[in-house]
Structure 1
Amino acid sequence: MPTAPRPAAPAPPPTAPSLTERRKAETQLEIARTAAALFAEHGTAVTADDIARTAGVALRTFYRYFRTKEDSVAPLLAVGVRQWLADLRRLAGEPDGPPVRDVLEQAARQALTPSDERAAEALRWTRGLLRVMRDDPALRSVWHRVHHDSEEALVPVLAGMTDGGPLEVRLAAAAANTAMRVAVETWAADDAPDAPEDGPAELVVRGMRALTAGLSGLDRRRA
């Protein structure tokens, strides 16, 4: 029979990753950087053995972390997503901050504006990867999976920021995520020399404004 709801127990504090987990993540990311660079330079002819050898790990180590050669680029693609969500949470936590719409734009712009040379290099590798993906369904599948996961992760973040209902929150997450994806894809496909207005940071803001224009809940913050 139904019972009265009980207060939820307080959530335990987050546990810091262990040294083993951190080393595993670092190894995965280093393999991902190597794979992205090789794919960008040599295309789909790259093999798992090529990636493992260039990254300085045994092939069995490679397959301990990744099922396929295409899966190996996922950690690199996910880095930008994690940074975007981290910036969004930080901006959302600022008291008396701007409307959600402005927070989304600011976090997206920051995520696609490299803060150092390593970040700029990762963005260049992503551009090369996206060009290779046009002829590789398996790589495209990894790209879309990363963005699907980012959209799911974005929903609870937005739900805590806006007083919009579940539908509006889902639409906002889908719109913001799509703006990020399409901005990077459009930038990657452009063979012309880069102009500031055609960079991914500017493209994502334009896309975000177009796709979220009808979502009035983004004009205010949850009290």
Structure 2
Amino acid sequence: MPTETGRDGARAPRSPLTERRKAETRRTIARAACELFAERGAAGTTAEEIAAAAGVGLRTFYRYFRYKEDAVEPVLAEGANRWLDLVAAGPPGLPDAGALEAVAVRALAPDDAEGVEAMERTGGLLRAAAGDPALEAVWARVNLGAERRLAAALTGLAPDADPLRIRTLAAGAATAIRVAIEQWSAAPDGPTHGPGSPSDLVTATMRTLTGGSPGTAGR
């Protein structure tokens, strides 16, 4: 458990409330950064403006993020974490491509207002990131982290599976999702459901990797 220093200098566990508050502050800053970047671009936005929009001081901003572009990482990671949680909750054994496809479709087809808003926020941010090396680097970092966490989740489900197969399956699935989201975000008015939506596109990208068959990768 994370710790903090008490008055006597001893290291005491941080309370769950403290951790939740920190996570919420981080999320608030991240959402403010996403909205400003989508509207003005990263080059047209300062850390001071992000902090003001989030209702925090500049010192607080830099307590959480080293650079202004880093502030969007929590928002970008939210979608990846949702998908990874669904994978990890699956039945024991290495899932095949069909199972991974079904989970990806579920994760990329939000059925509530908050999920739709999060998807649209990601789309706007990725459009702002196009041609911006710093934001593209954050996006690449998020996707690499997701790939590694997916490999760890698959290992947990199938500890005896061939590590090379797991790494290859994780890399392919993570790439298919990334490409689907990027393709969708390139269209400003891309739908969140139905043809052309992220869930529709991820079906196409997943099946492209497996030659059109949804159930072969894990065999």
Query: TM-score band, normalised by the shorter chain?
Result: 0.7 to 0.9
Work out whether 1:180 is the aligned partner of 2:177: yes
The equivalent position to 1:111 in structure 2, one of 101, 107, 110, is: 107
- Number of corresponding residues: 202
Using a 3 Å threshold, how does the CA distance of structure 1 residues 17 and 82 change in structure 2: closer, same or farther?
Answer: farther
| Per-residue deviation, 1:103 | 2.1
| Per-residue deviation, 1:112 | 0.9
Work out whether 1:68 is the aligned partner of 2:72: no
Using a 3 Å threshold, how does the CA distance of structure 1 residues 67 and 128 change in structure 2: closer, same or farther?
Answer: same
Gaps spanning 5+ residues in structure 1: where?
1-15
Distance 2:199 2:156 in 1: 25
Contact 1:31 1:52 in 2 (8 A): yes
Contact 1:112 1:201 in 2 (8 A): yes
Distance 1:168 1:124 in 2: 33
Amino acid at match of 2:218: L
Contact 2:96 2:216 in 1 (8 A): no
Work out whether 1:168 is the aligned partner of 2:165: yes
Distance 2:161 2:217 in 1: 5
Using a 3 Å threshold, how does the CA distance of structure 1 residues 193 and 160 change in structure 2: closer, same or farther?
Answer: closer
Distance 1:160 1:210 in 2: 26
| Per-residue deviation, 1:159 | 2.5
Using a 3 Å threshold, how does the CA distance of structure 1 residues 193 and 28 change in structure 2: closer, same or farther?
Answer: closer
Using a 3 Å threshold, how does the CA distance of structure 1 residues 105 and 216 change in structure 2: closer, same or farther?
Answer: closer
Gaps spanning 5+ residues in structure 2: where?
1-13
Secondary structure of 1:113's aligned partner: coil
> Percent identity between the aligned chains?
47
Amino acid at match of 1:123: M
Of 72-81 and 37-46, more deviation after overlay is shown by 37-46
Give the aligned partner of residue 202 of structure 2.
204
Contact 2:33 2:71 in 1 (8 A): yes
The equivalent position to 1:31 in structure 2, one of 17, 25, 29, is: 29
Give the aligned partner of residue 52 of structure 1.
51
Q: TM-score, normalised by structure 2?
A: 0.84
Using a 3 Å threshold, how does the CA distance of structure 1 residues 193 and 107 change in structure 2: closer, same or farther?
Answer: closer
Q: TM-score, normalised by structure 1?
A: 0.82
Superposition pairs for residues 90-109 of structure 1, below 5 Å? 90-92=89-91, 99-109=95-105
Work out whether 1:144 is the aligned partner of 2:143: no
Any idea what the Cα deviations from partners look like across 1:15-66, whole Å, max 9, x if unmatched? Answer: x982211111111111111111111111120111111001100010000000
Amino acid at match of 2:163: P
Distance 1:144 1:125 in 2: 17
| Per-residue deviation, 1:190 | 2.3
Amino acid at match of 2:186: A
Contact 1:71 1:142 in 2 (8 A): yes
Contact 2:184 2:190 in 1 (8 A): no
Using a 3 Å threshold, how does the CA distance of structure 1 residues 192 and 79 change in structure 2: closer, same or farther?
Answer: closer
| Per-residue deviation, 1:98 | 10
Amino acid at match of 1:68: Y
Give the aligned partner of residue 122 of structure 2.
126
